[in-house]
Amino acid sequence: MTNAAVQYTIVPTRPEAHLFGVTCTVDNPDPDGQRFSMPAWIPGSYLLREFARHVIRISARAGRREVPIIKLDKNNWIAEPCTGPLTIEYEVYAFDLSVRGAYLDTMRGFFNGTCVFLRAHGAEHLKHGVEIRSPRGKQYRNWRIATAMRRSGAKAYGVGNYVADDYDELIDHPVEMGEFSLATFRAAGVPHDIVISGRHNTDLKRLSRDLKTLCETQIAFWGIAPMKRYVFLVLAVGDGYGGLEHRASTSLITNRNDLPRSDTPAADDNYRTFLGLCSHEYFHTWNVKRIKPESFTPYDLDRENYTQLLWAFEGITSYYDDLMLVRSGLISRNAYLQLLGKTITQVQRGSGRHKQSVAESSFDAWTKFYRQDENAPNAIVSYYSKGSLIALCLDLLIRQKTGGRKSLDNVMQILWKRFGSTGKGVPEDGVEHVAEQVAGANLGRFFKSAVHGTSELPLPRLLKDVGVEMKLRPAESMVDRGGTAPGKNVSRSLQGACLGMRTRATSTGVKITHVLDGGGAQRAGLAPGDILVAVDDLRASGENLETLLSQRRPGNRVRLHVFRRDELLQLDVELRSAPRDTYYLQVSDKKEFERPRRAWLATS
């Protein structure tokens, strides 16, 4: 045990039933009755997830004496007054296979502290200790522990005691349990671990080498590593993607095919996707975990914390994640511009950008962005993707205003010194003020339009300053995400006509997931959830729908048979010309652009 004022134990008591057993002992409980609560959300994921709903049973005791404990509301309990120490015992159901929850089965365990550790009110700022135990049974004898939390008697990667300075730190160190692959490296002198759970065939030496390069590039960018140790916690699965940042670690879920093997080419798109995810979450070590909005300082974990600044914290991070890949030499300039073209395409294809600003998207993250429905492309804009394009514009704009002497890099470094290193929260207008200070100019018109408005971004004009031209073309297939120049031998497919909807193949037909504003599908009355089974009396499937449409031209009418619930409908749809909504970037070979482009990308 540690000498902490609040001490926990957590045990995978029944992995087959997905149950953790947890105790929480408070040395000096409140004499008026000790209150406990479970967080309603986890920082970095802006949705009330009500983790208390996974608490199955709960009881309290002081020594051997049972103490009544009463639930006050959805996530608060109070134990009757008693003389300490007071111990709360409870079970947590853990079967959320995500980066933001808790999970337990006979193969592995994982938890975020927000999902399993009750908060003892009044003791939040005192030292917290936790003893982590492994399940009983021979099949679990090789289980290890991976976490960035400080050890307090536990051996490296072993069960035992860990300690945190306060409750906020305790819940900011996720824990992986089980049999996993492990690799270590040092970046700027800081130890880094790569922990991979799930079946995989990763070239760990290559991954360590590439992540070391990436991490050292980012540490050099900020000028400081604010953590003494860092852990990449990776779960390899057949189909999955996601990440969540923490102060000294990140939780990642990735398709196992995105991890590098010895024969993976350097330009592999899948591996590039994984490196981008790692880059994004690592950049958050500074931007979000330490530079954070004023409304997050401190977090109120019982309710929504509103800010209009997620466009800066997620959007700017989304800009730098791929930029750091090219600056570190892990991807080429052309590969970076392809990724940028895909982001531009993604943003421009959503009509929601005309209806919602990124400031509004940030504020409404709790109710809209994290609760997207079938109408999302028509109604909202992503503060991640559009925010990254705003960051690009801001970077190029500052370079333009200062003759290349300053950039967004300087903005971020000032934000670190002024807010990140001091623990002060960034005011709602703080990013704009620092940007104007660096640019030496009034940028009010830009922020009003780009951040608080819905006008088109000045990307074409600003990219021309670095010799990059935005090009438009029609989509060449239903899975064309842009970023590349037109193909030489492209079938007519979507270059001819389209229905104006998004679909997903199912075993029973083609499910309509989104009906886009102004398209033929919307005008004909098709609805999200409809199952398309035939086009002009020919069976439709995920494999042949594109072929069936490629045989038609704009203005043609097609007869569709769809199931809506259990009713078969026949609808006639007029096909429209496929929109020119797919972007790629073309680089000028004029020498005058070489220096500003090299300064932007920091690569030769």
**pLDDT tens-digit map of 561-598:** 999 999 999 999 999 888 889 999 999 999 999 999 99
Question: Do 157 and 184 touch, CB atoms closer than 8 A?
Answer: no
> Positive or negative, the Cα torsion across 586, 592, 596, 599?
positive
In the prediction, which pLDDT does 604 show? Answer: 40
pLDDT of residue 603: 55
Average confidence (pLDDT) over 431-440: 98
- Taking the C-alpha atoms of residue 102 and residue 79, their distance in angstroms, rounded to an integer, is 25
Q: Using alpha carbons only, how large is the chain's radius of gyration in Å?
A: 26
CA distances from 359 to 237, 293, 304, 381, 433 (A): 34, 13, 16, 10, 16
What's the rounded Cα separation, in Å, for the pair 162 and 143? 17
d(CA 37, CA 9): 17
Nearest to 545 by CA among 560, 530, 555: 560
Give span(s): CATH 2.30.42.10, the chain: 493-577
The DSSP 8-state label assigned to residue 31 in this structure reads T
CA dist 371 and 382 (Å) reads: 12
Q: What are phi and psi of 533, to 5 degrees?
A: -115, -20
Going across the sheet that includes 175-178, the strands are: 102-104, 108-111, 175-178, 144-146
Supply the pLDDT for residue 550: 83
Instruction: Say if residue 497's pLDDT is above 80.
Output: no
SS3 state of residue 512:
strand
Percent of the chain with pLDDT over 70: 98
State the average pLDDT over residues 459-474.
Answer: 96
Rounded Cα distance between 498 and 580, Å, is 12
Distance CA 63, CA 105 (A): 32
Confidence of residue 1 (pLDDT cuts 50, 70, 90): low
Instruction: Give start-end residues of each CATH 3.30.2010 domain in the chain.
Output: 182-265
Average pLDDT for 403-430: 98
Say whether pLDDT at 127 is over 90: yes
Whether residue 90 contacts residue 118, with contact meaning beta carbons closer than 8 Å, is answered with yes
Residue 524 confidence class, pLDDT cut points 50, 70, 90: very high
State the pTM of this model.
0.95
- Fold exhibited by the domain 493-577: Pdz3 Domain (2.30.42)
296, amino acid identity: F
pLDDT tens sequence across 48-72: 999 999 999 999 999 999 999 999 9
Average pLDDT over residues 22-36: 97
Letter for the amino acid at 433? H
Q: Is the pLDDT assigned to residue 338 strictly greater than 60?
A: yes
Return the sign of the alpha-carbon dihedral for residues 371, 376, 379, 384.
positive
Q: Are strands 497-498 and 468-473 parallel, antiparallel or unpaired?
A: unpaired
Measuring CA to CA, how many Å separate 556 from each of 190, 539, 579? 63, 19, 16
In the chain, ranges of CATH 1.10.390.10 domains: 286-466+599-604
Neighbours of 104 (CB within 10 A): 26
Average of pLDDT values for 229-242? 97
408 CB-near residues (< 8 Å, 6+ apart): 316, 319, 391, 394, 395, 398, 435
Two tokens at 540? 């439709």
| Per-residue pLDDT tens over the stretch 286-336 | 999 999 999 999 999 999 999 999 999 999 999 999 999 999 999 999 999
Q: Which of 17, 109, 46, 35 is nearest to 72 (CA)?
A: 35
Looking at residues 79-97, what average pLDDT do you find?
A: 96
- Fold assignment, 182-265: Zincin-like (3.30.2010)
CA 41/CA 115 separation, integer angstroms: 9
Burial class (CB in 10 A: 0-12, 13-18, 19+), 442: exposed
Average pLDDT of the residues of the chain: 95
Q: Which CATH class is domain 286-466+599-604?
A: mainly alpha
Query: What does the pLDDT average to over 470-492?
Result: 81
Q: Please tell me the distance from the alpha carbon of residue 461 to that of residue 419, in angstroms, as a whole number.
A: 32
| Residue among 460, 462, 461, 443 nearest 452 (CA) | 443
Q: What is the mean pLDDT of residues 413-439?
A: 98
Instruction: Give me the pLDDT at residue 445, please.
Output: 98
**Other Cβ atoms within 10 Å of 166 Cβ, number:** 16
Which strand (E) or helix (H) includes residue 269?
helix 269-283
- The pLDDT of residue 78 is 98
Query: Where does CATH 2.60.40.3650 sit in the chain?
Result: 6-179
- pLDDT at position 494, please? 46
Quote the pLDDT of residue 101.
97
Q: Is the distance from CB of 111 to CB of 174 less than 8 angstroms?
A: yes
pLDDT given for residue 3 in this prediction: 79
Q: Evaluate if residue 491 carries a pLDDT over 70.
A: no
Helix (H, G, I), strand (E, B) or coil at 531: strand
Domain 6-179, CATH: 2.60.40.3650
